[in-house]
Chains A and B, each alone.
Chain A
């Protein structure tokens, strides 16, 4: 796999394109999380968001995983929400009911999720995909995704850059963007080059990395894309963050 030189010093270090892409998406998502928040972390890319948030952007956040682990230090990538690496690095081992109860009581500030597909309204699919040949492919299912999307005070989604994942209508609505009570639901989706807000109900390009153009974003997605009048251009993650993300992704 291609690796990019990020440090020309004595210890020359290279990082794969895949790591850089994941780190850019995760860093973009972490820019939506302020310090001291309680975060319910899904598995996959959300764990990298949690790692970057905890180590670089909002160090006093509280991390919760659906297995019941609380106050987790997310140093290395977990393969499941109950993995030994995060179980060892947690301050409290509760039950699954404990953490979902926190979620239902409204004590989770931010839910971090990924999905197979997201649509322009912020609905998520992690259940079934329809192929062009008319077949249906089953996926592992909701897990806690539906519950997090409905019950977290806000949900930030993080996705890889793949036009097949950004669709106008998802094939199956696992996690509807219809939150409970006055909670905010899916407020946005981060990907490796940009962040889309769902503030108006529909996806609007809200943030873009300074090394990308809006046309590049438009051509990389299947979305009917709107651009915010207050579009923000932000600096991509530093080499220090890219290096940290690379180490995190390799250690599982």
Chain B
């Protein structure tokens, strides 16, 4: 069995190339903040980010200068509002934003997963979002002769994802709200995964129904407790609501955003160093059973 355990530094250096198309896993849950921090720390650039609904981890990647493009159905701070960072970068012309819908993004990733060039759907036939995405084209259904939209497949170069646990070979177990994670990972050419726990492969064999990402596509397994902080991970820890509530103010202008990146990323050699800088007891209070 191949041992794929490595650090986030090694994984990002080895498997994420500038200008890659990157699928970011986690939908409101299990968001791969620790891997994203490392991408910013290593100053990767020119990435094209792919997502259904883009959480504040995208602010981190965009503000860190890593992204040239973002294609998504939604972007912002869930339950809190708008992304100041993405709005500013789009207005200043440094980020190319392609707005779509969550289902269309899901269909395009699923087409990529199935290995077919497109999936037909009636969505995006009308309204001001129709005909704005060049990979969505009107076709005639060969059965009904009705017009329908072909949602072109997406096969990102790499997926980054956080999950509960894995063995050293990359049989990754993920549970809780799944969102777009599994389709996005399976559509991608390779998967970089951080997990809370590394477990023995015979433990995985006891619960194979929890294994959601196939080992043959997983190229790196990173052991990173609290790797989805400040988002939440089912059975492990709660979302840090204060972090999300403060985020809009922490990124209200370029200066504040730079301070935010400095204090959360640049001041630290790795994610554990960042976790150690958090207020004492914070992570303890967030533990799943303490809520």
In the complex, whether A95 has a CB less than 8 A from a CB of chain B is: yes
Of all chain B residues, the one with the shortest Cβ separation from A94 is B178
B74 touches A96 (CB 8 A): no
**When A95-B178, A95-B179, A140-B81 are in contact, do A87 and B102 touch as well, CB less than 8 Å?**
no
Residues of A within 8 A of B29 (CB): 67, 82, 84, 87
Q: Which one of B11-19, B38-46, B190-198, B232-240 is at the interface?
A: B232-240
Report the Cα distance A117→B124, complex, angstroms.
19
A141 touches B75 (CB 8 A): yes
A178 touches B126 (CB 8 A): yes
Report the Cα distance A84→B258, complex, angstroms.
30
Residues 68-111 of B at the A interface (beta carbon under 8 Å): 72-76, 78-83, 87, 90, 99-104, 106, 110
A-B pairs under 8 A by CB, number: 149
B106 touches A96 (CB 8 A): yes
Residues 109-160 of A at the B interface (beta carbon under 8 Å): 123, 127, 138-147, 150-151
B101 touches A82 (CB 8 A): no
A150 touches B179 (CB 8 A): no
Of all chain B residues, the one with the shortest Cβ separation from A68 is B178
A142 touches B74 (CB 8 A): yes
In the complex, whether B123 has a CB less than 8 A from a CB of chain A is: yes
- Nearest chain A CB to B159's CB is how many angstroms away? 15
**When A144-B101, A147-B103 are in contact, do A67 and B128 touch as well, CB less than 8 Å?**
no
B177 touches A69 (CB 8 A): yes
Q: Which one of A26-34, A97-105, A209-217 is at the interface?
A: A97-105
Among candidates A87, A96, A173, residue contacting B128 with C-beta atoms closer than 8 Å? A173
A96 touches B179 (CB 8 A): yes
Among candidates A80, A97, A173, residue contacting B183 with C-beta atoms closer than 8 Å? A97
Size category of the A interface is: 35 or more
- Nearest chain B CB to A75's CB is how many angstroms away? 14
Residues 165-188 of A at the B interface (beta carbon under 8 Å): 172-176, 178, 180-181
B182 touches A84 (CB 8 A): no
Report the Cα distance A100→B103, complex, angstroms.
6
A140 touches B238 (CB 8 A): no
In the complex, whether A36 has a CB less than 8 A from a CB of chain B is: no
Over the window 53-74 of chain A, the binary record of Cβ atoms lying under 8 Å from chain B Cβ atoms (1 yes, 0 no) is 0000000000000111100000
B239 touches A95 (CB 8 A): no
> Interface SS of chain B: helix, strand, loop or mixed?
loop
In the complex, whether B115 has a CB less than 8 A from a CB of chain A is: no
In the complex, whether A79 has a CB less than 8 A from a CB of chain B is: yes
Residues of A within 8 A of B81 (CB): 140
Report the Cα distance A64→B234, complex, angstroms.
19
B123 touches A87 (CB 8 A): no
In the complex, whether A43 has a CB less than 8 A from a CB of chain B is: yes
In the complex, whether A16 has a CB less than 8 A from a CB of chain B is: no
Residues of A within 8 A of B128 (CB): 127, 172-174
A104 touches B90 (CB 8 A): no
In the complex, whether A81 has a CB less than 8 A from a CB of chain B is: yes
In the complex, whether A238 has a CB less than 8 A from a CB of chain B is: no
In the complex, whether B65 has a CB less than 8 A from a CB of chain A is: no
B99 touches A141 (CB 8 A): yes
The residue among A43, A87, A94 with the most chain B CB atoms within 10 A of its own CB is: A87
**When A96-B102, A103-B103 are in contact, do A68 and B239 touch as well, CB less than 8 Å?**
no
Among candidates B83, B123, B177, B244, residue contacting A150 with C-beta atoms closer than 8 Å? B123
Report the Cα distance A38→B183, complex, angstroms.
25
In the complex, whether A37 has a CB less than 8 A from a CB of chain B is: no
- Nearest chain B CB to A138's CB is how many angstroms away? 5
A79 touches B79 (CB 8 A): yes
**When A93-B177, A180-B122 are in contact, do A100 and B99 touch as well, CB less than 8 Å?**
no
Residues of A within 8 A of B125 (CB): 150, 178
Of all chain B residues, the one with the shortest Cβ separation from A82 is B28
Residues of B within 8 A of A13 (CB): none
Report the Cα distance A93→B27, complex, angstroms.
13
Residues of B within 8 A of A173 (CB): 126-129
Residues of B within 8 A of A174 (CB): 127-129
In the complex, whether B53 has a CB less than 8 A from a CB of chain A is: yes
| 8 chain-A/chain-B pairs, Cβ below 8 angstroms | A79-B78, A80-B79, A96-B102, A100-B103, A145-B101, A147-B104, A151-B122, A174-B128
Enumerate the 7 nearest inter-chain pairs by beta-carbon distance, A residue then B residue, closest first.
A79-B79, A82-B28, A80-B78, A176-B127, A140-B76, A147-B103, A143-B74
